[in-house]
Structure 1
Amino acid sequence: MNTSYEQHVEYPSRKRMALITAGAALFVSAGFFLMFDRSSGAGTSIISSVLGLLSVLFFGTCFFYSLVKMIRKEPSFVINEQGFVDSSSYTSGGAVAWREIEHMFMYELMGQKMIGVKLQDEKAFMERHNGMKRKLMAANSNMVDATISIAQSSITLPIDELYLMMMNHWQHGKGGRIYVLNGRK
């Protein structure tokens, strides 16, 4: 089987990124309101301030991340003959070679379809990332038996089609079979 595979590039949906950015901005505003609202008693004021601060820190980070993703015209996901490059979220895996993959599967988490990628040497892969990102990836890996998770919300191509494309590239490298979706390759 000498089929040559073209590179496929996915860009983040600007509409989705705009909605995420707007939502994060609302939560940042709510956090500031909680931090500086002095209409309640002293005990609840401290709790409100702490919750407000946590909201501002977390959603502020989400706001800046989504704003940068929306402004930059960088791909969120690239597939080629060597592997894939995932930069679809903060906990994305970066570059992964097809030979590093042990198993790929589809799953659903909180109503969202996702692609799970289990790597052969998860420890070596995790060591390529910084502390906070590594901890978030490990938490994700503990929830689902996947080193890398790719969400539909981070790409424009339907997740089923992306999964088949990834499976075909992965299987092609191993000399395996070609998968089809609804009679299409």
Structure 2
Amino acid sequence: MKEKIEIPLSKTKIYLIITGSLLFVAAGIWLLFNTNLYVDFPLKLFRNPMIIKGAGILSILFFGTIGILQIKKLSDKEPGLIIDSSGITDNSNATSVGLIEWNDISDITTKQVMSTKFLLITVTNPEKYIEKAKSGIKAKLMRTNMKMYGTPLSITSNTLKYDFDELEKLILTEFKRNKNVG
């Protein structure tokens, strides 16, 4: 590959994620202060005020974190993804670690959870990339990915100005091309 392919972040998609996060935070706050509304709920578990408050708190914490991370991403001027002869430089999500070198990649597979598709980037030395994490939370998220999927690295098009199927084709083509070179 001679040229560098840069895929920008999609501000529209980021704003949509922020809006969704705010709605879930609002729902969490509502659950937190309206636990008595579920006394007639058919499932006994969901009549328990502690369960309802717990769900509200988890919603606030989880979606609040996602919202904050996306707000930070709005001011990010770097491209979401760069694909060149060195590898894939990922700046698309919370667990992005920068450059993933072609020589380190052993496999690329697609996984779908619910309606979200993502590429799993399997590397020969996962610890090398987990150590690149800039925070303990990021490293913990990457270790969770490692336990669930066998690799700490994943790429989605959720925040990119690019269709997932096209992204998948592009990355797989460049992986094959650059694996044959090295």
TM-score, normalization by structure 1:
0.78
Give the structure 2 partner of residue 23 of structure 1.
20
CA distance in 1 between partners of 2:35 and 2:158 (Å): 38
Equivalences for residues 27-66 of structure 1 within 5 A: 27-37=24-34, 39=36, 44-66=48-70
Question: Residues of 2 paired with 1:160 and 1:52: CA distance?
Answer: 35
Once residues 111 and 39 of structure 1 are traced to their aligned partners in structure 2, the CA distance between those partners, rounded to angstroms, is 33
Q: Aligned residues: percent identity? A: 29
Deviation at 1:38, TM superposition (A): 6.7
- Structure 1: runs of 5 or more not aligned: 177-185
Partner of 1:6: 3
Letter in 2 for 1:156: K
CA RMSD of aligned residues (A): 2.5
Moved more, 69-78 or 80-89: 69-78
Q: In structure 2, which of residues 145, 170, 176 is the aligned counterpart of residue 165 of structure 1? A: 170
- Quote the residue 1:73 is aligned against: 77
1:135 counterpart residue number? 140
Aligned length: 172
CA deviation after TM superposition for structure 1 residue 167, in Å: 3.2
Equivalent pair of 2:86/2:102 in contact (CA under 8 Å): yes
Give CA-to-partner distance per residue, 1:114-160, whole Å, 9 cap, x none: 22210011122222223322222222233323331111323222233
Decide whether aligned partners of structure 1 residues 15 and 97 sit closer, same or farther in structure 2, where only a CA change above 3 A counts.
same
> Secondary structure at the residue paired with 1:113?
strand
**Which amino acid in the other structure matches residue 21 of structure 1?**
I
Alpha-carbon spacing, 1:35–1:107, altered in 2? closer, same or farther (3 Å): closer
Q: TM-score w.r.t. structure 2 length?
A: 0.79
2-structure distance, mates of 1:124, 1:33? 42
AA matched with 1:121: N
SS at match of 2:22: helix
Structure 2 residue runs of 5 or longer lacking an equivalent are 40-46
Aligned residue in 2 for 1:86 = 90
The amino acid of 1:171's aligned partner reads K
Higher normalized contact order (CA 8 Å, seq sep 6+, divided by chain length): 2
Residue of structure 2 equivalent to 1:154: 159
Which amino acid is the alignment partner of residue 12 of structure 1? L
- Conserved? CA contact 2:13–2:160, under 8 Å: no
SS of the aligned residue for 1:155 comes to coil
2: distance between equivalents of 1:125 and 1:71?
25
Alignment CA distance shift 1:29-1:174 (3 Å): closer
Q: Distance in 2 between matches of 1:12 and 1:71?
A: 10
